[in-house]
Each structure stands twice: as structure tokens, then as C-alpha cells.
């Protein structure tokens, strides 16, 4: 039995696991009970993820991000799905140890892999456990949207298909709106860009969302580019293992008089509100927003999860670690708030 007495930081919450579901031989879903006093903090959008604090004998804990496979529009409780990976400490610990009734420390939902409009026609790609955020989007679009949804789901063989029965049921209930296309490596080999392009050519006008191993997503990117799908209609979810401790509270950085005098000014748009802030050049955007008590989206503060992605509308920043962003993202003005420091004197940024 895993018991957590108190959270390790002010942002995290201890949740009880109400159920553990064996989805396949190597994949488990964890369903969480959310305390009444934390319900507002655990409202989430389809496609977002939770960050779990997993105990470790070597380091005390590790942080791992797992996508929500539940939909805020169809499921009463949040559910994350975890697939074992070779040598993956977090995923193997979850699958080997977590039982109903256990307690796990969790950060509130985060992530930007979520449709702006559930009424859009959606072209979804998943491979392996990459189906997890994708099925959240799929269920939400069917429940609250009005467009068509096409899913291309790649797996090794039939036994590896996560949510197979649920997908079949959804397709049967929504024959006019949902098309599910399974790609099985044992039957069709590995998907190529040309084969994927031929498969989804009729849906090239849809908004595309993809999640899966990097080689799969590279082939999807190539397929969509070959069909002329603009980058603005292509969205990818990328996860890295978090090196830092996002559960710890971070002390604000000291600002000298000289740094304050040389600070830039930034106008930040977040959740329909505009904030004008002084931005010292030795602090990140996330730093200054947290110091002002603004509920900025972030998780790792290491540039590894993408939770704090935002857009530079005016001005220029420099960034530290930004490998999670594609070159196209950066060219389109996307930055990571936890890595960005100001270059110009005035900036405008949108979340």
C-alpha cells in the first residue's frame, strides 16, 4: 500500500487511486478520486496530462508525465494510462506497484495538446501508448463537437491495441462521424510516409493531432507535409523524462537594483486577462509571473514538458533548453515561458 501523508509542495495534491484497469498485458490505467476542495484545480482539457511523483530509492522521487485518457465531457473521474517501456523506471513502477486505494502525489493538469475548437474536423494519429491523449480528444469531440473524426492507430499486433473495445464501441455508436483505421505492424509492416499520405489524403483539410514514438511522428509529419497540410493545422505531443523536481516550491530569484533598472516591460495575455509586468533580464517569464501570483501554466521549469508554451506577438526573447519545440514552432513565434528571457525592451506574449 502506497501512502502519502502530505504533498511536497504547494502546487501538488495527494490523490487516491480508485481503480487500476489492465488495458493490455503491459498497459495499466489509473483512475483517481479528486477531493472536493481540489476539484477546480483538476478541471482539465482533452489532451492534457498529469505529472505523478513516483518514489525512488536512489533519488527519493522521480517526476513522470502521463496523459489523461479520460474526457472531461464523458468521464466522472480523471484517468491516466501508463504503458511499460524497456528500462522505464516510472512506467514499470506504476504497473508493478500501484493498486486501488493507494495514494499518489500529483500536479494539476497541464499541457497544450488540446483542440481550440471541438467542432473542427479532426485527423488523429496515435501509435502505441500515444493513443492516450488522442482518445481523450476523440471522445470529447464526439460528445461536445459536431465535426468528423478520423483516427489512424498504429500498433505491433492486435494484442497491443489499447482501448480496442472502447474504440470499437465508439465507432459503432457514431458511424456517420467516426472512422477508426488500425495499422498493425505484423500485417502491414511499419507505416511509411507515402502509405500514410495515401491513407489520409481524403482528410487533408482536417486539423491533425499526433502522439507516439518519434519515428512514427516523423513519418506523419512527412505525410502531412506531402499533402500540403499547413503547419498551423498540425499538432504534436512530445514527452521527455523530467530531470528536475517540479513538485518542489522554487524560491523567487533575487533582483538587484541594477537588474530592476534594466528590466524589460512585457504585456502578457492569459485566460482572457492582460498583465503588464516588469521583466528583469536574468529571470524567466514563468519566474516573474509566479512572483506576481499569476497562475501561469507550467510543470517542469526545465524546458522538457512544453506546459508553458506561449507565443511572442511582439519583441524578442532568448531561450535556454528548447529542444521540445520544432524549428517550425520557433519560426512561428512559439517559446517556452520557463526558458525565455527578454532581449528587447518591450514585449507582448500570449498564452
Contact at 8 Å (CB) between 88 and 3? no
Q: What is the DSSP string of 281-344?
A: TTS-HHHHHHHTT-----S-SSSSS-TTEEEEEES-EEES--TTS-HHHHHTTEEETTTEEE-S
Per-residue confidence at 241, pLDDT binned at 50, 70, 90?
low
The phi and psi torsions of 136 (rounded to 5 degrees) equal -65, -45
Mean pLDDT confidence for 263-291? 94
Residue 76, pLDDT above cutoff 80: yes
| 122-237 is a CATH 3.60.130.10 domain | no
**Domain definitions of the chain by residue range:** 13-109, 122-237, 257-350
Q: What is the pLDDT of residues 302-350, one digit of tens each?
A: 888 888 999 999 999 999 888 888 777 788 889 999 999 999 999 999 9
Q: How far apart are CA 33 and CA 36, in angstroms?
A: 9
Question: How far apart (Å, rounded) are the C-alpha atoms in residues 13 and 25?
Answer: 29
**Separation CA 210–CA 216 (nearest Å):** 9
CATH of 257-350, one of 3.40.190.10, 3.40.50.300, 3.50.50.60, 3.10.20.30: 3.10.20.30
Do the two domains 13-109 and 122-237 of this chain adopt the same fold? no
Fold of 13-109: Elongation Factor Tu (Ef-tu); domain 3 (2.40.30)
C-beta separation of 279 from 288 below 8 A? yes
Note if the pTM is more than 0.75.
Answer: yes
Of 222, 214, 215, 256, the closest CA to residue 238 belongs to 214
Cell of 144: 461536445
User: Whole-angstrom Cα distance, residue 254 to residue 313?
Assistant: 28
Residue pair 302/242 in contact by the 8 Å Cβ criterion = yes
Q: Cα separation of 251 and 8, whole Å?
A: 14
- So what's the pLDDT on residue 325? 84
In the sheet that 103-110 helps form, which strands lie side by side, from edge to edge? 60-67, 49-56, 103-110, 13-24, 27-33, 79-83
The mean predicted confidence, pLDDT, of the chain is 93
What pLDDT is stored for residue 1 in this prediction?
A: 63
CA distance 265 to 331: 23
* Cβ count within 10 A of residue 127: 24
Least confident of 202-211, 292-301, 312-321, 340-349: 292-301
Q: Is the dihedral of CA 50, 121, 231, 331 positive or negative?
A: negative
Amino acid at each position: 500500500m502506497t501512502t502519502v501523508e502530505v504533498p511536497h509542495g504547494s502546487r501538488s495534491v495527494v490523490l487516491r487511486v480508485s481503480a487500476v484497469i489492465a488495458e493490455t498485458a503491459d498497459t495499466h490505467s489509473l483512475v483517481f478520486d479528486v477531493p472536493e476542495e481540489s476539484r477546480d484545480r483538476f478541471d482539465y482539457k482533452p489532451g492534457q496530462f498529469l505529472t505523478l511523483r513516483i518514489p525512488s530509492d536512489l533519488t527519493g522521487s522521480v517526476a513522470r508525465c502521463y496523459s489523461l485518457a479520460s474526457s472531461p465531457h464523458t468521464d466522472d473521474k480523471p484517468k491516466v494510462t501508463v504503458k511499460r517501456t524497456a528500462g522505464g523506471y516510472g512506467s514499470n513502477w506504476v504497473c508493478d506497484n500501484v493498486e486501488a486505494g493507494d495514494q499518489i502525489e500529483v500536479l494539476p493538469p497541464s499541457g497544450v495538446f488540446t483542440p481550440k475548437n471541438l467542432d473542427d474536423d479532426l485527423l488523429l494519429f496515435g501509435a502505441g501508448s500515444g493513443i492516450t491523449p488522442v482518445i481523450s480528444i476523440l471522445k470529447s469531440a464526439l460528445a461536445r463537437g459536431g465535426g468528423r473524426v478520423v483516427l489512424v492507430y498504429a500498433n505491433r499486433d492486435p494484442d497491443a491495441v489499447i482501448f480496442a473495445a472502447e474504440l470499437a464501441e465508439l465507432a459503432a455508436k457514431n458511424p456517420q462521424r467516426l472512422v477508426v483505421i488500425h495499422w498493425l505492424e505484423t500485417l502491414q509492416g511499419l507505416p511509411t510516409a507515402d502509405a500514410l499520405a495515401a491513407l489520409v489524403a481524403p482528410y487533408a483539410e482536417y486539423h491533425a493531432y499526433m502522439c507516439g514514438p518519434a519515428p512514427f511522428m516523423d513519418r506523419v509529419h512527412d505525410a502531412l507535409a506531402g499533402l500540403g497540410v499547413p503547419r498551423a493545422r498540425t499538432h504534436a505531443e512530445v514527452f521527455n523524462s523530467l530531470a528536475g523536481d517540479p513538485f518542489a516550491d522554487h524560491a523567487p530569484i533575487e533582483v538587484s537594483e541594477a537588474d530592476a533598472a534594466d528590466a524589460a516591460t512585457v504585456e502578457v495575455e492569459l485566460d482572457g486577462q492582460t498583465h503588464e509586468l516588469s521583466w528583469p533580464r536574468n529571470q524567466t517569464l514563468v519566474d516573474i509571473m509566479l512572483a506576481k501570483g499569476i497562475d501561469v501554466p507550467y510543470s517542469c521549469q526545465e524546458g522538457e514538458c512544453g506546459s508553458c508554451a506561449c507565443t511572442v506577438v511582439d519583441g524578442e526573447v532568448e531561450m535556454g533548453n528548447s529542444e521540445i519545440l520544432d524549428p517550425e514552432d520557433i519560426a512561428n513565434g512559439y517559446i517556452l515561458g520557463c526558458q525565455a528571457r527578454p532581449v528587447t525592451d518591450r514585449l507582448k506574449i500570449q498564452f
